[in-house]
Structure 1
Amino acid sequence: MDTTLIVPGLHGSGSDHWQSWFERQMPDSVRVEQNDWGTPDLSLWSAQIHHALNRNSGRIYIVAHSFGCLAAVQTAHDHGQRIAGLMLVAPADPARFGLQNVITNGVLGAHSVVVASTNDPWMPIDRAAAWAEAWGSELINLGAAGHINVSSGYGAWPRGLAIYRSLRGDVPRSFAQRRAHDALHAGDF
């Protein structure tokens, strides 16, 4: 059986966050918990993801947000053979945490997408594009979507779920691309 690991960012993802909504939509999901949600420690956060990898069998997909993306990328670099795909939403800029020389800038060993925004306060779009290219990830630019969290209007997020299902191969690629394109131009979340 496949497993989807939900990897929140700093302070976790509350019940109204799109990651929590994803969990309610996907019976195969498992939230990766951190011992301290307020302290962004790359090695400790990555270790928690690695433990979750070891506790689950089958193909593993990761859906990460913000600092959780950095921990997911590090885990994929170290244990990529277990990961089938990564959806990295609004990754935090590694430079904000002094990690620009620590985070791998090599191609990840799994299919991946970086979902970014033109006005994300945690990562400028040009940096998100550069990291996506370095990781060999497809970049999906949502336009002015903030940090793609609750405060920017992302609770229930059907278009995000369509992107994720496309990553998994659950929907035809052209459908997910149409949905992502629609999200850019309709202003609808």
Structure 2
Amino acid sequence: MKLSEVDILILPGLYGSKDGHWQVRWADKIRSAALVEQADWSDPDPEDWIDTIVKAVELAERPVVLVAHSLGCIALAKAAAQLTDGKVKGAFLVAPPDVYRDNAPEAVKDFAPVPRDPLPFPSLLVASSTDGYCALETAADLAGAWGSEFHDAGEAGHINIESGHGPWPEGLLMFTRLMQRI
């Protein structure tokens, strides 16, 4: 599938994606991409985030590919059951957080329980062995539950600006491979 044939909806995580974050850069560079804006980035309401994702997909005029980072991955997994009409063609999931870890912020814990049903579309989950928000084994377990292809990005932190991932060209290559697969 070509980028020009789909609407790419980008789903940031807790606090949104700041200027320079790879998600913002992709939204700026890819003509068919747009950031999905949530009402409250700092104190998210899970149901509100889910509804926003569902509405964004419904409003898209073409098939959709979702690109989620961090808490956006969990919100997408929770919204997936409502996205079963075949409009979503795939998802690129990056650095999902472990909402069950002891030191997780309350805003993240509010997204529990995390669905463990397979996603109704192809997906690729990318995680890091040095992500302070989720152990690599936990991310691999989520990928297995969701039926996602899994990629270990090595020592890449939370795959955000703080871990040195502004443009993240390796991520764009992985995303391109997902697009070729779907």
Q: Could you tell me the TM-score, scaled by structure 1's length? A: 0.85
1:1-189 matches, within 5 Å, as 1-80=5-84, 81-95=86-100, 96=104, 97=109, 99-100=111-112, 102-169=113-180
CA contact (8 A) 1:77 1:104 kept: no
Greater RCO, 1 or 2 (C-alpha within 8 Å, sep 6+): 2
CA contact (8 A) 1:40 1:67 kept: no
C-alpha distance in structure 2 between counterparts of 1:27 and 1:58, whole Å? 13
Q: Could you tell me the TM-score, scaled by structure 2's length? A: 0.88
What is the CA distance between 1:40 and its match in structure 2? 3.0
C-alpha distance in structure 2 between counterparts of 1:41 and 1:115, whole Å? 25
CA contact (8 A) 1:120 1:147 kept: yes
Over the aligned positions, Cα root-mean-square deviation in angstroms equals: 1.6
What is the CA distance between 1:104 and its match in structure 2? 1.4
What is the CA distance between 1:41 and its match in structure 2? 2.3
Q: Percent identity?
A: 36
What is the CA distance between 1:135 and its match in structure 2? 0.3
Deviations along 1:128-161, whole A, 9 cap, x unmatched?
0101000000111011110000000000111111
Give the count of matched residue pairs. 170
CA contact (8 A) 1:87 1:164 kept: yes
What is the CA distance between 1:170 and its match in structure 2? 7.5
Q: Which runs of 5+ in 2 are unaligned?
A: none
SS in 1 for 2:83: helix
**Which AA in structure 1 matches 2:94?**
V
C-alpha distance in structure 1 between counterparts of 2:157 and 2:147, whole Å? 23
1:186 maps to none
**Which AA in structure 1 matches 2:60?**
N
